[in-house]
Structure 1
Amino acid sequence: MNTPPTPRFDAREASKWFFRHGHTGWLGLKFTEQGDNWVELELPWREDLLGDRDRPVLASGPIISLMDMASGMAIWQTQGTFRPVATLDLRVDYQRPARERASVKGRVECYRITRSAAFVRGIAYDDDIADPVAHVAGTFMTIGADPRTANPALGGSTGHD
């Protein structure tokens, strides 16, 4: 029996599902562009995402979430498939605040994948990628399979959950 090949991961298509649910859906993240090993997403400006009520600038927390999601999607884009990853380290070096009432885009590339880790770097920017809001560098653990299902002794589902 021939099994049809699994379609290659496509960040544009995946974003249609990812961004309807959960935290990324609540943030209102939007897909903007992709390449073979990179993804760019946008965090639209919203008044409820401010860090300071006296200044209409996106808070750092939502920007970190933007960059974390763009990192995961860049890894899947590079691998060509969706496999769960866990953020081990995501360093964010802020260069300046975002501009007032401006959306922030996050472009992240996955530049290396090993058997158990993936490495990313990226830029968050609002108007000009040459004038970044922040630089990021991250390390993610790649997860081949849920260890609980691979080894029932580790607490796999009993069917009574």
Structure 2
Amino acid sequence: MAVDIVLVKKLAKLMVSANKGDHFHQLGLEFTHLETGACEMRLPYSERLVGNPDTGVVHGGAITALLDTCCGMACATVLEDVGLTPTMDLRIDYMGVAEPGQDIYARADVYRSSQSVLFARGRAYTKGQEDRPVAHCVANFIRLDEEVLKNLSEQFKPFLEAVEVDL
């Protein structure tokens, strides 16, 4: 049985709104679309994220966090119950620089799901330049033990009940 996608959407919204001091808030990460096997996100441009003040280009670490989060949440959509998927391995190929002043978008898709590992691909790009990605990634995520996932899901559900989603 597949997870209720509405619960995953609520978890995504909770992740970016619950703790004002976490990296989601510092980066301004936003989930823009979730469906079974896929996730889309946005990293709003900010001067605070610039890695090179001479060029205005966003630091690669912010793009790494965007792609890791996007791939991980795509993997969460294929679980049996609502929960998280810790990163095992993430490989990023930087293809070029993002245009200064422009938001960066990411799309991730799950391409394989085994008994213990979930596999995803992602890409980061600026709007209107989807065919010229800033970065590509492949990532592997742990599928938590069934009992651990069930316990985690039960802990999440009371918090998720109050969350309204619009993804």
Q: Structure 1 length as normaliser, TM-score? A: 0.80
- Answer yes or no: is 1:130 the counterpart of 2:131: yes
Greater gyration radius: 1
Task: Work out the percentage of aligned pairs sharing the same amino acid.
Answer: 30
The CA distance in 2 between the partners of 1:12 and 1:29, in whole Å, is 14
- Answer yes or no: is 1:9 the counterpart of 2:13: no
Evaluate the alpha carbon distance shift between residue 123 and residue 96 of structure 1 in structure 2; reply closer, same or farther with a 3 A threshold.
Answer: same
Evaluate the alpha carbon distance shift between residue 107 and residue 7 of structure 1 in structure 2; reply closer, same or farther with a 3 A threshold.
Answer: closer
Deviation at 1:87, TM superposition (A): 1.2
Q: Structure 1, residues 52-106: CA drift from partner, whole Å, max 9, x if none?
A: 1111111100110011111111011122533332211111001100001111111
Q: Is the 8 A contact 1:41 1:107 kept in 2?
A: yes
- The unaligned stretches of length 5 or more in structure 1 are 1-5, 150-161
Q: Is the 8 A contact 2:3 2:79 kept in 1?
A: no
Three-state SS of the structure 2 residue aligned to 1:55 is coil
Three-state SS of the structure 2 residue aligned to 1:79 is coil
Structure with the higher fraction of residues in helix conformation: 2
- In structure 2, the partner of 1:158 is none
Three-state SS of the structure 2 residue aligned to 1:19 is helix
- In structure 1, the partner of 2:56 is 56
- The unaligned stretches of length 5 or more in structure 2 are 152-167
The CA distance in 2 between the partners of 1:86 and 1:37, in whole Å, is 16
Amino acid at match of 1:107: R
Q: Which runs of 4 or more aligned residues in structure 1 lie more than 3 Å from their structure 2 counterparts after TM superposition?
A: 9-12
The CA distance in 1 between the partners of 2:90 and 2:3, in whole Å, is 29
Which protein has greater RCO, CA pairs closer than 8 Å, 6+ apart? 2
What number of residue pairs does the alignment pair up? 144
The CA distance in 2 between the partners of 1:63 and 1:138, in whole Å, is 14
Which aligned pairs between 1:1-161 and structure 2 lie closer than 5 A?
8-10=4-6, 11-20=8-17, 21=19, 22-79=22-79, 81-127=81-127, 128-144=129-145, 145-146=147-148
- In structure 2, the partner of 1:157 is none
The CA distance in 2 between the partners of 1:114 and 1:123, in whole Å, is 22
The CA distance in 2 between the partners of 1:138 and 1:16, in whole Å, is 22
Deviation at 1:115, TM superposition (A): 1.2
Q: What is the RMSD computed on CA atoms of the aligned residues? A: 2.3
Q: Structure 2 length as normaliser, TM-score? A: 0.78
